[in-house]
Amino acid sequence: MKVLELKNVHKIYNSSDIKVHAVNGITLDFEQGEFAAIVGPSGSGKTTLLNMIGGLDIPTEGEILVDNTDLSKLKSSRLIDFRMNNIGFVFQSYNLIPVLTAKENVEFIMNLQKWPKKKREKRTLELLKAVGLSDRINSRPSKLSGGQQQRVAVARALASKPKFILADEPTANLDSKSTETLIEIMEVLNKEENITFIFSTHDARVVKRAKRVITIEDGKVLTDLRN
């Protein structure tokens, strides 16, 4: 089942006089259950691409269909709701709301979606258990390590049962041990729950774990390999 389709997507930045063709005609499909890494040199367009997939940025040209919905056709407040219900995000850093505990951060989206309290709490505990943080549910982000924070962010991204999770360099700020733990958790979720992950990375060890590796350069897909 296709969860995401990109059709000839372009992004041109027109800052001052220089025109930057950050994404230059990318066409890609993603199936349910993929574990895909987007790699490429710095400035190749990874972040730009992920932002457009997540509906945070609008393509200059081309279509992005999430579960057959064209993101560019949604107006801004509907798009925010669409993101909430269909797309999970893990950013490189400062993902969490600093004044909420791990549990409250994970609950946050379910709260916005008005889940009943019991159901909400049950799922929150399950998710925190899945990322190995059962013992830290009442800690605020400032009391968690960078790796633990990223794991909470993964749990939160999963909370709304999204079609896929986007992660732009989720391990960039982590040491190798935390990187290992995070990627393992993502792998397990992917294998056991069939969660779709699309992430960008510079880390060769992370790339190795991916089931599909898309290499882009100058805004174009160079290779698209599955192992």
Ligand X SMILES: Nc1ncnc2c1ncn2[C@@H]1O[C@H](COP(=O)(O)OP(=O)(O)OP(=O)(O)O)[C@@H](O)[C@H]1O
If DSSP codes are grouped into helix, strand and coil, which group holds residue 34?
coil
Residue 181 one-letter amino acid: T
How far is residue 24's CA from residue 9's CA, in Å, rounded to a whole number? Answer: 7
- Shortest distance in whole angstroms from residue 35 CB to other proteins: 21
- Shortest distance in whole angstroms from residue 128 CB to ligand X: 29
Residue 24 one-letter amino acid: N
164 DSSP β-pair partners = 87
Residues 71-90 that bind other proteins (CB under 8 A): 77, 80-81, 83-85, 88-89
- Shortest distance in whole angstroms from residue 86 CB to other proteins: 9
Long-range residue pairs from 208-212, CB within 8 A, at least 24 positions apart, any chain? 209/35, 209/183, 210/35, 210/36, 210/37, 211/34, 211/35, 211/36, 212/34, 212/35, 212/36, 212/37
Among 20, 74, 100, 137, binds other proteins (CB under 8 A): 100
Residue 47 binding Mg ion, by CB under 5 A: yes
Among 24, 48, 160, 179, binds ligand X (CB under 6 A): 48
Cα diameter, the chain: 56
Among 14, 15, 42, 114, binds other proteins (CB under 8 A): 114
Among 8, 27, 72, 99, binds other proteins (CB under 8 A): 99
C-beta of 11 vs 156, nearer to ligand X: 11
Residue 218 binding other proteins, by CB under 8 A: no
Question: Which residues of this protein are in contact with ligand X, per CB under 6 A?
Answer: 13, 15, 20, 22, 40, 42-48
